Chains A and B, each alone.
Chain A
Amino acid sequence: MGKEITENGVEIRILCRRLVILKKESGIQWLIGSPFLPSLTIVSTLRCLHTLGSESLSPDLPKESDDLRSLLPKGFEVIGALITDDRNVLKIEKIVGNAISAVRNLRKSLYSNDNDNQVLIGAVIDLKNGVGERDVRFFTSRARNSGSVEKVSTIVYEDQPEKFVWDKGCIVRCELPIRLPLYYPLNTEDVEGIYTQAITDVECKFRDPQVTYLIEAHNSHSTGGPQPIVLHGMELNPPEELPENAFSIETARESTVKSLACSYFFSETKDTMPFTSVEENADKILVNIMFNRSRNSLKPVAPIAEYYPATEGAKLLVVDHKLEVLCYAAKELLLMDAVSKLLIPALIDQLHSLKNKISPSLLAEHPKLQPYHFMPSGFLHPITVLYELSYGETEMKQVEARRSLHLRLGLPFDRPLLRVANAISLSRTKDNTGGNSTQKGSSLLKDVHHGIPSSGVSGGFVSLVQGSYEYYHYLQDGFDDSGWGCAYRSLQTIISWFRLQHYTSVHVPSHREIQQSLVEIGDKDPSFIGSREWIGAIELSFVLDKLLGVSCKVINVRSGAELPEKCRELALHFENQGTPIMIGGGVLAYTLLGVDYNEASGDCAFLILDPHYTGNDDLKKIVNGGWCGWKKAVDSKGKHFFLHDKFYNLLLPQRPNIV
């Protein structure tokens, strides 16, 4: 990408793939950068949700900063604002001024000791004149100097944004359960005040001289890797704040530890491309916080037990907190700073977020709050969300919380991307099992169509199923359904797709359970259960509706010869819905995973997943035997894949409109 010097010599680098997430409506988007990336680099954007009254361009700063503080990992910060305006009454200078002052005020409330030299970005789209990414106009201003605004003319779009973020940066992770006992007088009104005081005490303790930070590479529990590093609480404070006696127990070894950077834990040759997930590609450091019971600046004193009776009625309340934070740190950052400047503030922020949610119900049942981290596809960094686990995920309140997060992140509303099952899992036990196949506790083959030979349609446009599915076929699980179970197996594959996309947590039903639900809805007589009767597309739609609440579209054709005519419609389905299709009808049931269609020539092929396979789950055998592969309506020998004298029903499950 050519770089040219602009009048102010400033260029803005954009990493995120979608900068404008507001859809033809006026509003504010916060632009996110990082102190560890070059200044004026936009990593991501978050929509401003809380506004004052109905005024979409006046952010409610206290609420916004609360939300952003818990959402955004430390190591990322708000560096700008983008305003879309449809009123066209104000001059552009005025709008830019608004954007800059919005971000300046937000930073004031987010970061208490803000750096005055920070350059802020103000960006504007005038909806009357343009809506696209390229219509954004960028301006910059120094944080302390509100008057001068400069126009930016050079915009660089990074080709490999993941590499840009993760080659030089790493994740610092810390999990910390905190159990706080609170004693309060029976006659007090102010338990919350006591709680607040206790939380403040905890804050101080993170920098207690006896606190010890054990730092290690996330995956190196075996031999060979770098040794864990031990940092002591006293080493975190700048020297002038140290109690004078703290130096006496510092050894030479400890002072060398101070000069180590995060990169100590990583090999330099690691390649982050292609970047598939934080779990696999990002470098990670794990920090454990412990309390050193062997260091004390005081002279050792023989044990003493003192009994203090409560002078008035007293009660004890125990509040449990689960903290888990991720921070983003440059690899050359000193470990000491990573802990002191990122990790501890992050823990304190999260503790306050938890406190604010627990406080109102302090004396009643505490909410079960658990932090989860997500990195939806297209996002370059994780975000953190506190979920309440006392209720089910489909509870209205939880759904609303997720919807507003989708809105903030600019995610579509018809797919669940922020459910617990979507969360990044970094806990160690899961890492040990490794591998994709065991991740979901299933041994079935997934996504068998990856890497099969192409269809042979020249100039065709391929439309495929979106997301993962499991391959169900005859004789699986030692169940003999050869000759009658193909539609059941196709249904199982479809339900597995909904499971793996996290629309449902319902397990994949057995043949008997499928029959059972058909009897329950009155479609079949009780004698149907346990029989070997076939089912068709219509029955499948009933079961999908009953078990998952998924509705389906059905396409009928009187003869297999008519199927190629439906290719355009099927391609559209894969583009918009992306669910697997079941083909039923006259004789055989198949699962359709995609079409390859040349609109001009009419040439087409169908990606068929055949449930009639009776062998073992050997990918090679399945692909070579054509059990998963492209089928042309008429093959090279003139044989028709779809029979002309049979009718076909195509079942097109519709993606539910849920998050």
Chain B
Amino acid sequence: MVKAVVGDETQLKLTENRLTRSAIPSEVGLVIGKLSSKLDKGFVYDLVPTPTNDDGEPPCSIIDGVGVGNGKKKGSSRAKSQPESSTLFIDNDWVSEHARQVSRMLLGGMKVVGIYIWVNETSFKNSAITLCQTVKGVAEAASLVETDWNERLLIHISYSPLRWTCRNCSLAANITSNSLRPCDFKMGKVLGSLHTFRCMYNFDVRLPLGHEDGQHIRRFADILRHGITIQAKELRSSKALIDGKLVIEDEQHASYDFHEVEFLLPFLQDKYVEACSQKEVFGVVLFSGSVCSLAYLNSKEPVSQALADIKEDIIMSLLSRLEMLCDEADREPESITDGGEDSSSQKSIDKPVPHLNLGAQRKQYNISFPRRVFVPWLEGTYICDYIQPSETVEVVKDHCVELMSMEAPTDASEILEPESEAPALITSTTKSFWDIAAHDSSAAKWDNSVSKKSRGSRNRISAKSADLNPMLAVLVVVLSIVVGLVLFLIRAA
């Protein structure tokens, strides 16, 4: 249980100044930080206000208890003295959605660990249950993979007198008055003493699709989710090198503040096939690529924590990207439909690729995951975002402003783009099922020829301007899909 919380002085003072100057009666937002079970301590890196919702309304407001309960006159009750019965209204769904989106942008060791509220003492006291519900909603939306955390922080900044208090909110099943417990809160140097751990994680797995497999995992997205789950398991049992040295004991790294992590996984033990099975397969999914990952560690935390964080970041990054693809597929209108075609063939085309039932597909499909980019955040730390093949760095700037309420980096070159676009088209046209099936992950033979061409150095996160190649590739992809589709339809007709 968290007993003491330390917040980053610089950031919290900035927030405090902003709030006191704004003279708004209430504000809700997310607490970005880290809870350490080993130290019984919480760290707060920054507070991020939840933006106004799609209708332009703020996510929280004070409701005058005397007035009608549903009188939604936000911001109007800006009286100097609040009535005794005033309570808070919080748009829980909106705050949760904010938490969901923000947690996708956070790297290893940085989490949405709760909410903060800027409101007067009375309203706060009257709204304990509401606040607990918001905390719970946020916790569900930005769930941590590590499950041992059944508490989150609730930071209250009250004005007149200006005071910071922190409580931890238990996430036990039902909310009672006992859910909130005060904990020790102070400000100090937090962000400045963070250690950075960086890792490049490459994977190249083949997921066999068998006829006996349950119907439920035939959808492309589900197959990938299943694959990611196995990777998570594999990664959990891995060994790690930090700066080329095998990690044996839980020592503390005090000397440098930047570390390179390498993960060692079991050699030639294909976890993606079941033991001794002999079954018919209708296809194989080749899931490959790299995840660039960063994790931040507080100076007193053990190294094992950094490894856990970076593993979580790798898996969460994969899951987030898949989730984004699915979200987008859900939003996409079924636009490809051409009227007057054969209905049976239409059905399969209608669906966006992530939702395709691969069991019924006789042609190749691919899904390119969005690229991960790193955006400079506070005191040399980074947050991340994802860029779809069709997007540019501009969307990243929008996200930063909207979700993280930060100033967008003025120079696009400050945004790091370590991952390049997957060359999907090339592989899919030249390889058949048997090429893919016969060669297990990263067979040295045909990798060598490629590696000689691209004499790449180690993938330091280095500033690189967005080059045109991805854009070109995207265009080619789009064009070829259209052409392929037309050809297919002509043949089907």
Listed in ascending order, the chain A residues whose CB lies under 8 Å from chain B are 176-181, 183, 185-186, 194, 197-198, 201-202, 204-205, 207-212, 214, 223, 227-228, 230, 243-245, 248-249, 251, 253-254, 288-311, 313-318, 320, 363, 366
Contact = CB atoms under 8 A, between A and B. Distances in A.
B447 to A, nearest CB: 8
B239 A214 contact: yes
Interface in B445-493: 445, 447-448, 450-452, 454-459
Contacts of B447: 298
Contacts of A245: 451-452, 454-457
**Interface core residue of B206, B238, B434, B444 (most chain A CB under 10 Å):** B444
A254 to B, nearest CB: 6
Which 5 A-B pairs rank lowest in CB-CB distance, beginning with the nearest? A303-B289, A183-B437, A304-B422, A300-B290, A290-B264
B280 to A, nearest CB: 5
B422 A179 contact: no
B404 interface: no
Interface stretch (B115-123, B301-309, B364-372): B364-372
Given A179-B275, A181-B206, A363-B278, A308 B372 contact: no
Contact of B369 (A297, A305, A311, A315): A305
A288 B248 CA distance: 14
Interface in B265-315: 265-270, 272-292
A314 B432 CA distance: 13
B321 interface: yes
B208 A181 contact: yes
B364 A301 contact: no
Contacts of B358: 307, 309
Interface string B422-438: 11100110011110111
A210 B448 CA distance: 12
A309 B364 contact: yes
Contacts of B139: none
A299 B420 contact: yes
Contacts of A202: 268
B423 to A, nearest CB: 7
Chain B interface helix/strand/loop/mixed: mixed
B462 to A, nearest CB: 12
A133 to B, nearest CB: 46
Given A181-B270, A201-B443, A303-B287, A315 B280 contact: yes
A285 B419 CA distance: 39
Nearest to B207: A305
A248 to B, nearest CB: 5
A228 B248 contact: yes
B201 A294 contact: yes
Contacts of A243: 448, 451-452
B276 A318 contact: yes
Nearest to B278: A317
A318 to B, nearest CB: 5
Contacts of B30: none
Interface string B231-258: 0000000110100111011000000000
Contact of A303 (B206, B369, B434): B369
B433 A302 contact: no
A228 B244 CA distance: 11
A318 B273 contact: yes
A241 to B, nearest CB: 11
A204 B285 CA distance: 24
A384 B434 CA distance: 37
A274 B369 CA distance: 63
A304 B270 contact: no
B262 interface: yes
B318 interface: yes
23 contacts: A178-B267, A183-B438, A204-B445, A211-B267, A212-B241, A228-B248, A243-B448, A245-B451, A245-B455, A248-B456, A253-B245, A290-B267, A291-B267, A291-B268, A294-B261, A296-B202, A300-B419, A301-B288, A302-B421, A304-B424, A305-B286, A308-B431, A309-B433
B440 A201 contact: yes
A177 B444 CA distance: 20
A304 B280 contact: no
B288 A293 contact: no
A290 B281 CA distance: 29
Contact of A307 (B239, B246, B361, B422): B361
B188 to A, nearest CB: 33
A244 B363 CA distance: 38
A113 B458 CA distance: 37
B270 A180 contact: yes
Contacts of B440: 180-181, 198, 201, 205
A179 B263 contact: no
A366 B278 CA distance: 11
Nearest to A178: B268
Given A179-B273, A201-B440, A291 B286 contact: no
Nearest to B220: A307
B210 interface: yes
B442 interface: yes
A290 B247 CA distance: 14
A305 B285 contact: yes
A306 B241 contact: no
A318 B278 contact: yes
B2 interface: no
A301 B283 contact: no
A185 B438 CA distance: 11
B417 to A, nearest CB: 10
Nearest to A323: B268
B29 interface: no
B249 A304 contact: no
Contact of A230 (B245, B287, B428): B245
Contacts of B288: 301, 303-304
A291 B264 contact: yes
Contacts of B437: 183, 308, 314
Nearest to A210: B442
A192 B201 CA distance: 34
A223 B249 contact: yes
Nearest to A362: B278
A244 B437 CA distance: 29
Contacts of B199: 294
A307 B286 CA distance: 6
Contact of B280 (A177, A204, A253, A313): A313
B276 A320 contact: yes
A301 B420 contact: yes
Nearest to A194: B438
Nearest to A296: B202
A214 B224 CA distance: 31
B285 A307 contact: yes
B368 A296 contact: no
Contact of B362 (A198, A223, A309): A309
B418 interface: yes
Nearest to B209: A307
A293 B280 contact: no
A181 B362 CA distance: 22
B375 interface: no
A372 B277 CA distance: 26
Contacts of B275: 179, 318, 320
B458 to A, nearest CB: 5
A642 to B, nearest CB: 62
A289 B452 CA distance: 25
B286 to A, nearest CB: 5
A316 B273 contact: yes
A318 B445 contact: no
Interface string B341-383: 0000000000000000010011111111111100000000000
Interface in B171-225: 199-203, 206, 208, 210, 220, 224
